[in-house]
Chains A and B, each alone.
Chain A
Amino acid sequence: MNRLSSLKWRLRISGGLALVTAALLAATSACVSGADTKPDQDAKPGAKTEKKTAKKAKLSGAELYAVNCNRCHPERYATEWTAAQWKTLMLHMRVRANLPAKQAKAILKYLQEDAGN
Chain B
Amino acid sequence: MKKRSLIVSAVAAGCALGVALPRQAWAAVSDEDFNALKSMVQKLGDQVQKLEQVHEQDQQVHQQDQQKIQQLQQQVGETQQIATNAVQKAEAAAQLQPVHALPPGAGATHNFQLAGDAETVFGRIQGQHSAFAQADFAPIFLYRANDNILFEAGFDFLLSNNAPTAPGTAYGFDLSFATIDYLVNDYMTFVAGNMLLPLGTYSERSAGWLNKIPDNPLPRGLLPGTGLGAQLRGAVPIGDQGQMLTYSAYGVNGPSSVDGTGNSGSLDLGGNVGVLSGATSYPRQYGYGLTGTTFSTLGNLNSNPSGGGRLGWFIPWKPHYDLEVGVSGQSGQWNNLGEQWSAVVLDAALHVSPYVEIKGEYINTWVDTADLGGIRPNGWWVQAGYKLSGLNLDFPLINNVELVGRYDRSDDGLVPGNTKTERYTAGFVYYFSNTLLFEGDYEWLHSVGPASNIFPNNEMLFQVSYGF
Contacts and interface: CB of A to CB of B under 8 A. Distances in A.
Interface of A: 2-3, 5-6, 9-10, 13, 16-17, 20-21, 24-25, 27-28, 31-32, 35, 55-56, 58-59, 63-64, 66-68, 70-77, 83-85, 87-89, 91-92, 94-96, 98-103
Interface in B417-446: 431, 434-435, 437
Nearest to A95: B181
Contacts of B311: 17, 20-21, 24
Nearest to B143: A88
Interface size class of B (residues with CB under 8 A): 35 or more
Contact of A35 (B239, B244, B312, B344): B239
B329 interface: yes
B354 A71 contact: no
A17 B327 contact: yes
A18 B340 CA distance: 20
Nearest to B181: A95
Given A2-B337, A3-B338, A28 B240 contact: no
Nearest to A65: B319
B283 to A, nearest CB: 25
A87 B322 contact: no
Interface string B232-254: 01111111111111111000000
B150 A88 contact: yes
B87 to A, nearest CB: 34
A24 B247 CA distance: 12
Contact of B144 (A25, A28, A74, A88): A88
Interface in B363-383: 366, 368, 374
Contacts of A75: 434
B238 A13 contact: no
A59 B320 contact: no
B467 A103 contact: no
Given A100-B235, A100-B236, A13 B331 contact: yes
B316 interface: yes
A16 B329 contact: yes
Nearest to B351: A71
Contacts of A102: 186, 237
B313 to A, nearest CB: 6
A91 B107 contact: no
A99 B210 CA distance: 18
Contacts of B144: 87-88, 91
B434 A74 contact: yes
A56 B240 CA distance: 8
B242 A68 contact: yes
B152 A92 contact: yes
A9 B342 CA distance: 8
Among A28, A87, A88, which residue has the most Cβ atoms of chain B within 10 A? Answer: A88
A92 B248 CA distance: 16
A31 B115 CA distance: 38
Given A6-B339, A64-B242, A71-B322, A24 B313 contact: yes
B309 interface: yes
B111 interface: yes
B463 interface: no
